């Protein structure tokens, strides 16, 4: 991966470690990553960033998602 992309991944991993959740846009998709209550991180990928009144993404816009049982950095790279 390019150095600039690796720098951004490292920055996002630090945010995820300190806040337990992050959201960002990349390649016209919207990413939501948060710490799973059981282990690892839930990674959801959306085609639209419209949210409901509670601030949650609409399920109808989900493109892909899954559980990453690795580190914060691995969770960010999981769907990229």
Q: What is the mean pLDDT of residues 50-75?
A: 96
Tokens linked to 20: 């337990």
Tokens linked to 15: 């945010």
Predicted TM-score of the model (pTM)? 0.89
Looking at the chain, the whole-number percentage of residues with pLDDT higher than 90 is 86
Find the range with the poorest average confidence among 2-16, 23-37, 56-70: 2-16
What pLDDT score does 3 carry?
75
DSSP β-bridge partners for residue 80:
none
Q: State the number of CA atoms in the 13 A half-sphere of 39 facing the CB.
A: 2
DSSP state, residue 28: T
What pLDDT score does 79 carry?
86
């Amino acid at each position: 991966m390019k150095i600039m992309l690796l720098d951004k991944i490292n920055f996002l991993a630090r945010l995820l470690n300190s806040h337990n959740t992050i959201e960002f846009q990349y390649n016209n998709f919207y990413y939501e990553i948060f710490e799973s209550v059981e282990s690892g991180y839930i990674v959801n990928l959306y085609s639209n960033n419209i949210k409901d009144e509670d601030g949650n993404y609409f399920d109808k816009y989900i493109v892909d998602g899954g559980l990453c049982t690795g580190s914060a950095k691995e969770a960010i790279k999981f769907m990229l």
